[in-house]
Protein backbone atom coordinates (compact mmCIF):
# COMPACT_ATOMS: atom_id res chain seq x y z
CA UNK A 1 0.00 0.00 0.00
CA UNK A 2 2.87 2.33 0.82
CA UNK A 3 4.44 1.73 -2.62
CA UNK A 4 1.14 2.61 -4.29
CA UNK A 5 0.92 5.87 -2.34
CA UNK A 6 4.47 6.81 -3.33
CA UNK A 7 3.77 5.96 -6.98
CA UNK A 8 0.54 7.99 -6.93
CA UNK A 9 2.30 10.96 -5.35
CA UNK A 10 5.09 10.77 -7.93
CA UNK A 11 2.59 10.56 -10.79
CA UNK A 12 0.68 13.53 -9.39
CA UNK A 13 3.88 15.55 -9.05
CA UNK A 14 4.91 14.74 -12.63
CA UNK A 15 1.46 15.66 -13.91
CA UNK A 16 1.51 18.97 -12.08
CA UNK A 17 5.02 19.74 -13.38
CA UNK A 18 3.98 19.00 -16.95
CA UNK A 19 0.81 21.05 -16.55
CA UNK A 20 2.87 23.99 -15.24
CA UNK A 21 5.19 23.77 -18.25
CA UNK A 22 2.25 23.65 -20.64
CA UNK A 23 0.60 26.59 -18.88
CA UNK A 24 3.82 28.63 -19.03
CA UNK A 25 4.11 27.95 -22.76
CA UNK A 26 0.47 28.96 -23.29
CA UNK A 27 1.02 32.16 -21.31
CA UNK A 28 4.03 33.06 -23.47
CA UNK A 29 2.03 32.42 -26.62
CA UNK A 30 -0.85 34.59 -25.48
CA UNK A 31 1.47 37.39 -24.44
CA UNK A 32 3.08 37.69 -27.87
CA UNK A 33 0.09 39.49 -29.41
CA UNK A 34 0.22 41.95 -26.52
CA UNK A 35 3.81 42.78 -27.39
CA UNK A 36 2.77 43.34 -30.99
CA UNK A 37 -0.17 45.44 -29.86
CA UNK A 38 2.06 47.64 -27.72
CA UNK A 39 4.12 48.43 -30.83
CA UNK A 40 0.95 49.41 -32.65
CA UNK A 41 -0.10 51.58 -29.70
CA UNK A 42 3.24 53.38 -29.88
CA UNK A 43 2.69 54.06 -33.59
CA UNK A 44 -0.82 55.32 -32.88
CA UNK A 45 0.47 57.64 -30.16
CA UNK A 46 3.10 59.03 -32.55
CA UNK A 47 0.47 59.62 -35.23
CA UNK A 48 -1.83 61.31 -32.73
CA UNK A 49 1.01 63.43 -31.42
CA UNK A 50 2.03 64.44 -34.96
CA UNK A 51 -1.57 65.33 -35.80
CA UNK A 52 -1.86 67.39 -32.63
CA UNK A 53 1.41 69.21 -33.35
CA UNK A 54 0.33 69.97 -36.93
CA UNK A 55 -3.03 71.29 -35.76
CA UNK A 56 -1.49 73.43 -33.02
CA UNK A 57 1.19 74.92 -35.30
CA UNK A 58 -1.38 75.67 -38.01
CA UNK A 59 -3.75 77.31 -35.50
CA UNK A 60 -0.96 79.47 -34.07
CA UNK A 61 0.19 80.52 -37.55
CA UNK A 62 -3.35 81.49 -38.61
CA UNK A 63 -3.89 83.60 -35.50
CA UNK A 64 -0.52 85.39 -35.73
CA UNK A 65 -0.85 88.87 -37.24
CA UNK A 66 1.40 89.59 -40.18
CA UNK A 67 1.85 85.92 -41.11
CA UNK A 68 0.03 84.41 -44.11
CA UNK A 69 -0.95 81.43 -41.97
CA UNK A 70 -3.62 80.18 -44.35
CA UNK A 71 -0.99 79.96 -47.12
CA UNK A 72 1.53 77.99 -45.07
CA UNK A 73 1.32 74.20 -45.24
CA UNK A 74 2.31 72.35 -42.07
CA UNK A 75 3.35 68.68 -41.98
CA UNK A 76 4.70 66.76 -38.99
CA UNK A 77 6.53 63.44 -38.99
CA UNK A 78 7.80 62.02 -35.68
CA UNK A 79 7.91 65.50 -34.14
CA UNK A 80 9.71 67.15 -37.05
CA UNK A 81 7.64 70.00 -38.49
CA UNK A 82 7.99 70.98 -42.15
CA UNK A 83 6.70 74.36 -43.29
CA UNK A 84 6.05 75.13 -46.94
CA UNK A 85 4.08 77.60 -49.03
CA UNK A 86 3.19 78.50 -52.57
CA UNK A 87 3.03 82.18 -51.62
CA UNK A 88 6.27 84.09 -51.03
CA UNK A 89 6.97 85.19 -47.45
CA UNK A 90 9.51 87.66 -46.12
CA UNK A 91 12.52 86.52 -44.14
CA UNK A 92 10.95 88.05 -41.02
CA UNK A 93 7.71 86.11 -41.59
CA UNK A 94 9.71 82.93 -42.14
CA UNK A 95 11.62 83.49 -38.87
CA UNK A 96 8.37 84.12 -36.95
CA UNK A 97 6.75 81.00 -38.45
CA UNK A 98 9.75 78.88 -37.40
CA UNK A 99 9.73 80.39 -33.89
CA UNK A 100 5.99 79.66 -33.54
CA UNK A 101 6.50 76.03 -34.57
CA UNK A 102 9.51 75.54 -32.27
CA UNK A 103 7.64 76.64 -29.15
CA UNK A 104 4.96 73.93 -29.53
CA UNK A 105 5.31 71.06 -27.07
CA UNK A 106 6.53 67.88 -28.77
CA UNK A 107 8.29 69.59 -31.68
CA UNK A 108 11.79 68.15 -32.11
CA UNK A 109 12.88 70.21 -35.13
CA UNK A 110 11.50 72.62 -37.72
CA UNK A 111 12.32 72.72 -41.42
CA UNK A 112 11.31 75.84 -43.31
CA UNK A 113 13.08 74.95 -46.56
CA UNK A 114 9.72 74.81 -48.33
CA UNK A 115 8.82 78.41 -47.50
CA UNK A 116 9.33 80.62 -50.52
CA UNK A 117 11.23 83.77 -49.59
CA UNK A 118 10.73 87.11 -51.31
The pLDDT value recorded for residue 117 is 78
Q: What is the DSSP letter of 1?
A: -
Q: What is the DSSP letter of 87?
A: S
CB 55 within 8 A of CB 75: no
**Residues contacting 98, CB < 8 A, separation 6+:** 83, 110, 112
pLDDT at 21 over 90: no
Q: Find the radius of gyration of the CA atoms of the chain.
A: 30
pLDDT at 12 over 60: no
What mean pLDDT value characterizes the chain? 79
Report residue 89's pLDDT band, with 50, 70 and 90 as the boundaries. Answer: very high
112's enclosing H/E stretch is: strand 109-114
Report the range of poorest mean pLDDT among 25-29, 43-47, 92-96.
25-29
Amino acid sequence: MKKFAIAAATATALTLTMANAAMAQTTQTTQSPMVLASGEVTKAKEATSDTWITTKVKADLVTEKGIPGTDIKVETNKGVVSLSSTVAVTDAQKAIAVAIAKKIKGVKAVSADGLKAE
